[in-house]
Structure formats: structure tokens, C-alpha cells
Amino acid sequence: MKRALVTGITGQDGAYLAQLLLSEGYHVFGTYRRSSHPPFERLEYLGIKEQIELLPMDLLDQGSILRALEASEPEEVYNLAAQSFVQVSFEQPILTGNVTGLGVARLLEAIRQVNPGIRFYQASSSEMFGKVQSIPQDEKTPFYPRSPYGVAKLYSHWMTVNYREAYGLFACAGILFNHESPLRGTEFVTRKISRAVARIKLGLQDHLELGNLQAKRDWGFAPEYVEAMWLMLQQDQPGDYVIASGGTHRVQEFVEKAFETVGLDWREYVVKQEALFRPAEVDLLVGNPARARRDLGWQPKTSFPELVRIMVEADLARAAKEALSQ
Ligand code: NAP
Ligand code: F7E
């Protein structure tokens, strides 16, 4: 039985990746941070919590990283842990740098010490392209991050490449564009919208506050994107891959489609809130996943309208439960 350690297993991607690895017959270990509140909601939603061996670990604490590696003895490590919310990175840039940037150096050092034969996946991000230098973006596009989060991810991206080149680690970076699902955190724009649409439809909320509706993102479906992470670690050679849908849509288009799904006119409910605009914005992202298609045989399957529908329907089911409990 292959053994994998997933950091950030309590997050959106961690839950879907754990589900995939279990279906592939892995012994799955996952790390969580101590909290005053149980953080396992997503693993419970997928009904897989009991099949995972959970280990306490914080990317700020070197000892806890070493102990998680020693306890799990993994062949593969997927590093999904991060302070991942761009907006918060403007308010907490030092914490973001420490977790999302330096945290990866801590993990790479621990792998080098414990077992340099471990295959390593790093969750790099399209936010590293920021103020894009060419359209569409691929593995050769120069980076120009526009937030402390993007800068921190760029540091961890280059550390991953450096440990591959300097020490021969089998280290891969997946440059993933935005991917969403019913398990997306509620502060990210797609889930904020799908949740609000469902709650407005069922009379639980009366409006939705949003910032920049003109930004364009390349949105895909998260369960498909975690397959690409796994495929990267199954190749003969390590490498870096752009994972994207290849399409791009304005935030406003997501809003329109989501309200349309429940037969409402978005203009009657959406309120612009200046505080939700970012100090520096990423105006346009659109990826070219040709390399992943060629080398990994990976391609996106879920279209933009399907993604919106999946998310709104899942939130309608949740809102119906909420309405019943009131
Ligand atoms: P997410 O839902 O925000 O999950 C982040 C995970 O990191 C959570 O499990 C969180 O734990 C954990 N974490 C936060 N700080 C930590 C720390 N100091 N030590 C250990 N764990 C910590 O993010 P996601 O959407 O699943 O994304 C997974 C990864 O891919 C992240 O690295 C993200 O930056 C990157 N990424 C995401 C996207 C996307 O569109 N989703 C695109 C490109 C790259 P708690 O549950 O305790 O908070
Ligand atoms: O914002 C605009 C906002 O927070 C998308 C993370 O997973 O993907 C994600 O980062 C866009 C931005 O995602 C609101 O200004 C308008 O232009 O959903 P988001 P993100 O910043 O693209 C990348 C690839 C990652 O790596 C990150 O970890 O939507 N927007 N109004 C809003 N955004 C939010 N959150 N809330 C609003 O009210």
C-alpha cells in the first residue's frame, strides 16, 4: 500500500485529494492545525474522515513537520497547506510570507533530512503571474505577482525548483489556476456568490456585497484539478505544469449565471462595496494547459456554466437545511 502525506487536508483541495488517493488504494495521512473548533467539516462532507490518519502539524513549527514525516513515512508528500486568501495577505503579509513562503522551505528541508527519496508536490498558483506578461499564461510566462500571497507563492515555487536542481529531489510544482467546488471556502468569490444566491432564493439573506466585478479568472472544477497533482507525482521525471481550463470569465458573469440558475435578476441584489476592492488587482488570468494535456494526459471536463450550476445546487441544498432548522 502506497503512503501519502497531505498537508492542508482540512482545506478544499486536501479533502478532494484525500478522496482520490483513497480510491487509488493509498494509506492517507493528513495534517491539521490545532484549533478550538473541529476543522474536519469537509472530510465529513465527503464521508472519508475515518479512513484518514490525522497528524497535528503547523508549517510555522519545524519540529511538528519532522514528526509528521517520521510518523507517516510517506512515499509522496502533497503540500497544500497555505494562508491561501489573497485579500487577507494584504492585511497579514508577514504571516502569509511565513506560512505560504518560508513554510515550504521548512518542509523541503525536513524532507531532505528525513528521506530525500520522497516525491514532493507543491501547490503553486496562477497568482504568481499577477500582472500578466503574456496571454494565455503557460510554464514559460514570466511571473509578476500582485499581492503578498503571490510573492510568497513565488518564493515557495522557486524553492521547489531549487531543491529539485540542487539536491535531486523529485519535486513538482503545479501552477494551478482558480478551481472551485461546493467545498470552496465561503470567503472566495465563487462560493460567496453561490451561497448568497441560494440563501437569497430561500429568504435567508436579502443582498450580496461584492468588490471588483470586472476581474477575469480562469475557473475550473476542483476534483479534476487534484487528479493533475497526483498524475505529476506518477511520472518518470519531475516537472512543473500549468493546470487550467483555458477559458476566462468576469466575476460579473459568474454572478449573472448564478442568479439566473434560480430565476432572479442579480441587479436587484448585488451591492458594490469599496472595501472589498484590493490594493493591487490581478485583472486577467487565462491559462494554457497544453503541457499537462501532452505529458499527463490531463484535461478539464466541467464547463463554466456547469461549474456555476453545481455550486448553486449544492448551496441550495445547504440553505434548505438551514431554513428548516430555523
Ligand atoms: P484552503 O481551502 O484555504 O486550505 C488551506 C489549508 O492550509 C487548510 O487545511 C488550512 O488549515 C491549512 N493551513 C493554513 N495555515 C497553515 C499552517 N500554518 N500550517 C499548516 N496548515 C495550514 O486552500 P485550497 O483552495 O484547498 O488550496 C490548496 C492549496 O493550493 C493552497 O496552498 C493554495 O494556496 C493553493 N492554490 C489554490 C488554488 C485554488 O483556486 N483553490 C489555486 C492555486 C493554488 P485550516 O483548515 O486549519 O485553516
Ligand atoms: O477572488 C474579485 C477579487 O478571492 C477572485 C485563491 O484560491 O485563486 C484564489 O485567489 C476575484 C478577484 O480568488 C469579491 O477582487 C470581487 O479579482 O475568489 P477570489 P483569487 O484572489 O483569484 C488563486 C489561484 C489562488 O491561488 C488563491 O489561493 O474576485 N472579487 N468581489 C471578490 N473576491 C472575494 N474573495 N470577495 C469579494 O467579495
Question: Residue 109: pLDDT above 90?
Answer: yes
Do residues 213 and 279 share a domain? yes
Number of folded domains that form the chain: 2
Substitution site in 9, 12, 13 for ligand 1 pocket (most atoms within 8 Å of beta carbon): 13
Residue 296 within a domain: no
**Which amino acid residue places its CA nearest to atom 40 of ligand 1?**
178
Residue 288 within a domain: no
Do residues 54 and 197 share a domain? no
113-128: average pLDDT: 99
pLDDT in tens, 275-290: 999 999 999 999 999 9
Contact yes or no for 132/114 (Cβ under 8 A): no
Q: Could you tell me if the CB of 211 is within 6 A of ligand 2? A: yes
Considering only CA atoms, which of 81, 75, 73, 87 is closest in space to residue 103? Answer: 81
Residue 289 within a domain: no
Torsion angle in degrees (nearest 10) through CA of 177, 183, 186, 191: 60
275/188 Cα distance (integer angstroms): 15
Question: Residue 230: pLDDT above 90?
Answer: yes
Q: What is the CA radius of gyration of the chain?
A: 19
Residue 237 within a domain: yes
Do residues 89 and 232 share a domain? yes
Residues shown for the chain? 326
CA of 124 to the centre of ligand 2 (A): 16
pLDDT in tens, 147-191: 999 999 999 999 999 999 999 999 999 999 999 999 999 999 999
The CATH number of residue 74's host domain is 3.40.50.720
51/36 Cα distance (integer angstroms): 23
326/322 Cα distance (integer angstroms): 7
Question: Residue 204: pLDDT above 90?
Answer: yes
pLDDT in tens, 220-229: 999 999 999 9
CA of 42 to the centre of ligand 1 (A): 13
Residue type, 21: L
Residue 60 within a domain: yes
281-306: average pLDDT: 98
48-57: average pLDDT: 98
18/48 Cα distance (integer angstroms): 8
pLDDT in tens, 23-37: 999 999 999 999 999
Q: Active-site residue 109, yes or no?
A: no
295/223 Cα distance (integer angstroms): 19
Do residues 157 and 239 share a domain? yes
Q: Active-site residue 127, yes or no?
A: yes
Residue 33 within a domain: yes
In angstroms, the Cα distances linking 296 to 15, 22, 138, 171 are: 22, 20, 15, 16
| Percentage of the chain lying above the pLDDT 70 cut | 100
From the CA of 152, which ligand is nearest?
1
Q: Active-site residue 125, yes or no?
A: yes
Q: What rounded mean pLDDT belongs to the chain?
A: 98
316-322: average pLDDT: 98
Substitution site in 208, 217, 248 for ligand 2 pocket (most atoms within 8 Å of beta carbon): 217
pLDDT-derived band at 245 (thresholds 50, 70, 90) equals very high
What does the angle CA 171 – CA 174 – CA 180 come to, to the nearest 5 degrees? 145
Q: Given this model, what pLDDT does residue 315 score?
A: 98
Domain extent at residue 125: 3-179+219-243
Do residues 227 and 252 share a domain? no
DSSP character at residue 83: -
84/153 Cα distance (integer angstroms): 9
Do residues 47 and 98 share a domain? yes
Contact yes or no for 309/194 (Cβ under 8 A): no
Residue 56 within a domain: yes
74-96: average pLDDT: 98
DSSP character at residue 325: T
**Which amino acid residue places its CA nearest to atom 23 of ligand 2?**
178
Do residues 225 and 308 share a domain? no
Q: Given this model, what pLDDT does residue 10 score?
A: 98
The H or E element spanning position 13 is: helix 12-23
- C-alpha grid cell, residue 83: 494562508
Of ligand 2's atoms, which has the minimum distance to the CA of residue 190? Answer: 18
Question: Residue 60: pLDDT above 90?
Answer: yes
Question: Residue 326: pLDDT above 90?
Answer: no
